[in-house]
Amino acid sequence: MTTLAIQTEETPITGLALEEAERCRRRACAKVIKDQRQYFDLMGQPSGWCVVTEKGPWKRSFHARHELDLLRDHLESGHKLVLTVGIIANPRVPMTSNNHVSEVKVEDSCKLPFEKLVVLTAQAKIHATSRLLPTICSADLPPQGGSH
């Protein structure tokens, strides 16, 4: 099982953000594994996540799983969590509405209008996909059936 190690020196908000990011990533993977016929082209593709933060109305930042230091710095300097996206996609093809699976969690405290959240979600998906490294979803669940 591939998991993200959360160090004990993390601030509570950083730890919570990382836990939610991994939860979203695992849920996206579970969707693909659950419906392998529908998502056949995504089997074996990498998965990742993006956490969106903001400080004030105009400063938003996107953080993928290999940008933990920047995420930590932003959260510790007053950025607020906006949303988290977990995704599984083929990073070698342009993203469309039909060639990826994602799980999105909008923070309860987020007051952005729906239209803005749609745009931020699309940007977060693109950010996460552009930074995908091989973290294969099938390794996240135990083998099914047959002898090994």
- Residues of the domain holding 71: 12-137
Q: What is the pLDDT of residue 6?
A: 42
The model carries a pTM of 0.81
Within-domain flag for 5: no
Query: Do the domain assignments include residue 6?
Result: no
Task: Give one word for 62, left, alpha or beta, with left for phi > 0 and alpha for psi -120 to 50.
Answer: beta
The answer as to whether 60 is a domain residue is yes
Residue 69: strand pairing partners: none
144 lies in a domain? no
What phi, psi does 21 have (nearest 5°)? -60, -45
Angle at 98 between CA 131 and CA 26, to 5 degrees: 50
How high is the pLDDT of residue 137? 58
Alpha carbon distance 77, 14 (integer Å)? 11
Residue 131, in any domain of the structure: yes
Average of pLDDT values for 109-117?
A: 93
Total domains in the fold of the chain = 1
